[in-house]
Amino acid sequence: MNPNAAIEGRRPESIPALGDAQGRVPPADKGLKARPQIARKPDSRWTGPSALDRGAANEPASQIQVMLSGVSPWAKAGGDTESKHPGGCQRDLPQAFHGVLHCAPRRLRPRGAPFRMTAILKGSSRTKYHAPRVCPLGMNRFSSSISPSSITRTRTIWLALRRAMSLRPTCILALLLLSSFGIPHSSFAAAPPANILLIVLDDIGYGDPGFQPGGRVPTPRMDALAKKGLRFTQAYCAAPYCAPSRVALLTGRYPVVLGHEENYSLQGERGLHLGTRTLADLLRGAGYATCAIGKWHLGDQPQFRPTQRGFDAFYGTVQNSEYYHPRNFVDSRVSPDTPLEIKDDAFYTTTAYADRAVEWIAAAGARPWFLYLAFNAVHSPLQAPQSYLGRFPQLEGQARQFAACLAAADDAVGRVLDLLRERDLEKSTLVLLISDNGGPTWDTGASNGSLNGFKGELWEGGVRVPMLASWPGVLPSGEVYEHPVCAIDLVPTALAAAEVAVPRDVPLDGVNLLPHLTGQNSARPHQTLFWRMAVQWAVRDGDWKLHLSNGGSGQPELYDLATDPGETRDLAPAQPEKRQELQSMYERWNATLPAPTDVMPINAEAKKRDFIRANAFREQQRKQAK
């Protein structure tokens, strides 16, 4: 697998060209070849090294900054205007932008020689690519390494830079000198890349929040987020348990690939493998401020905690804990290693996490940031303040506690989103919201809607989860995305939004969703998805799903999710060939994985207790249905 596939995009043949032989940019609706070969007339001005070339010859590298006018710098000289070309400069350059020419090696090259180019559009995300003298290299990364909303403007940047390169080197130097006297240095500052806000809810069922069809708990703040962005109907976690699902969220890998199948592979003396780089590692390496708030659950020991895994700051619990007087609570401002004892009776984790999130974002300043905000709501033991319990007088017992916990989480999410709006950060922030796994109906009363199964199982109710994405101006608003996506996709998607290339030694199992969500790529992000959790396993290929899961017949069961998303009709007996096809897919994938690691007796006993409770609840449901 190409480790850069998530950033480079999956369909390079669909990438548009940037210009023709005359440097003109065609209208966006005309198909063009993926690798444009831009012819350039011979120019004697570039045939020999200039004084500037010779002056830079002894330098390790030279950099020339050229400020270009934001209003069609060549329109008055007879170049294309908006009237001649609907996709032209005047429409696409509403404000000033800067071209930064990195000339390597050591000097400006004569015609056709390679150089590195970085184009920066003021007021938008940073746009960067490396190019030869007359034609951009690596343009198969175009649709995913550059913010989708900037594609047309980026074409114009390329055209303008090509026009600028027709100047004599001495002219470029003169522009540089003039700019140093007449233009403030801040004018050349690049707009920061997108902020990343990843919100994780705990044990929310597919049918719980109000933005879901038939959602039973009012969640007006999350509903508003759904209206501003996208709601996913077929979003999947990578594992139906808390800890391994978080491995996928922060690494972009199937957790079983890294040897993590259940919670106990990430507790005690074990944690997320130290050689595994997280999303926070990669973003911090690109200059991001990073913070983890809430439930960690990727290792108890100090070497596994967030501040050792790419996060500048951590405020939360290393495992699951109570909402009041939480155990194993760490505030890295006090100590990254020593847990605090929370004595305040009014301290409520959901509210406290929102407080800290608002405080941290407000202090981040102009630096791009990544906030991982992982609530423990609505994991058991359910606890809620009286102010939230009072909102649901019609409910009793567990149902009332659950609704109150989810309402508190909704308010907490809303407070963070309010801050983004107040500070004008909405259009520069990619917000992703997802549940870590399906709801444990047998434990908390969570609802998975019409889906079969629960948390801890590989039925749809255990792995299909609520998910939202919002990035105003880039992603569509108020729409529904119906192709299958997975938690493993969030890392490559966040990296693409941040315009951070995936290092070649960082493999990813997920894909960059941005081209799919913006309509540039209408294909499914995934044809096939896999799961393995000890003796349970599943494979989804297209709309077909084969799985062996708790609560089933004890044999692999086959379902057509297009017609039976509730998995009520096992088609394995009627379609043995399809069953064998999918089972062979799973076996080939499974053969590449390490052996199951979670075989400790404590794990077996815990799973047994969970399965007993789940199966007892399932039997009760069946009796009630009759």
State what percent of residues in the chain have pLDDT above 90. 59
Beta strands in 402-551 (DSSP E): 429-435, 464-465, 467-470, 479-481, 485-486, 528-533, 536-541, 544-548
CA distance to 294, 296, 328, per residue, from 304 (Å): 15, 10, 14
Q: Which residue has the tokens 């929310």?
A: 204
Q: Which residue has the tokens 């044999």?
A: 555
Q: What is the model's pLDDT at position 247?
A: 97
**Could you tell me if 235 and 466 are in contact, meaning their C-beta atoms sit under 8 angstroms apart?**
yes
Nearest to 7 by CA among 144, 188, 147: 144
Q: Which residue has the tokens 């909102």?
A: 391
Exposure of 514 by Cβ count < 10 A (0-12 exposed, 13-18 middle, 19+ buried)? buried
The continuous run of DSSP H or E covering 97 comes out as strand 97-103
Residues with catalytic function: 242, 297
Helices 242-251 and 490-497, interaxial angle, to 10°? 30
CATH topology for 195-522 is Alkaline Phosphatase, subunit A (3.40.720)
SS3 548: strand
pLDDT score of 176 more than 90 = no
pLDDT score of 474 more than 80 = yes
More confident of the two residues 86 and 328: 328
Q: What is the model's pLDDT at position 383?
A: 97
Longest dimension (CA), the chain: 90
pLDDT band (50, 70, 90) for residue 2: very low
Determine how β-strand 62-68 pairs with β-strand 464-465: unpaired
Rounded CA separation 613/610 (Å)? 5
Report whether the peptide linkage leading into residue 500 is cis, meaning its omega lies within 30 degrees of zero: no
Residue 327: how many CB atoms within 10 A of its CB?
Answer: 13
Rounded CA separation 232/465 (Å)? 9
Rounded CA separation 606/613 (Å)? 11
Q: Where are the alpha helices (DSSP H) in 147-190?
A: 151-165, 169-182
Q: What is the model's pLDDT at position 616?
A: 76
Q: What is the model's pLDDT at position 608?
A: 63
Q: What is the model's pLDDT at position 626?
A: 62
Q: Which two tokens stand for residue 320?
A: 């699951």
Cα atoms found within 13 Å of the Cα of residue 27, Cβ hemisphere only: 7
CA distance to 31, 111, 117, 598, per residue, from 39 (Å): 19, 11, 18, 60
CA distance to 235, 430, 457, 528, 541, per residue, from 462 (Å): 12, 26, 5, 18, 18
Rounded CA separation 189/191 (Å)? 7
Q: Which two tokens stand for residue 597?
A: 């690691």
Ranges 158-167, 288-297, 315-324, 481-490: which has the least confidence: 158-167
Rounded to 5 degrees, φ, ψ at 403 are -60, -40
Per-domain boundaries in the chain: 10-188, 195-522
Nearest to 99 by CA among 160, 24, 48: 160
Q: What is the model's pLDDT at position 595?
A: 82
Rounded CA separation 299/244 (Å)? 11
**Could you tell me if 557 and 545 are in contact, meaning their C-beta atoms sit under 8 angstroms apart?**
no
**Could you tell me if 230 and 432 are in contact, meaning their C-beta atoms sit under 8 angstroms apart?**
no
Ranges 160-169, 199-208, 518-527, 584-593: which has the least confidence: 160-169
pLDDT score of 168 more than 60 = no
Mean per-residue pLDDT over the chain, rounded: 76
* 554-584 pLDDT, tens digit each: 999 999 999 999 999 999 999 999 999 999 9
Q: Is the pTM of this model over 0.85?
A: no
Rounded CA separation 149/86 (Å)? 17
Average pLDDT over residues 599-613: 59
**Could you tell me if 392 and 363 are in contact, meaning their C-beta atoms sit under 8 angstroms apart?**
no
Determine how β-strand 235-236 pairs with β-strand 485-486: parallel
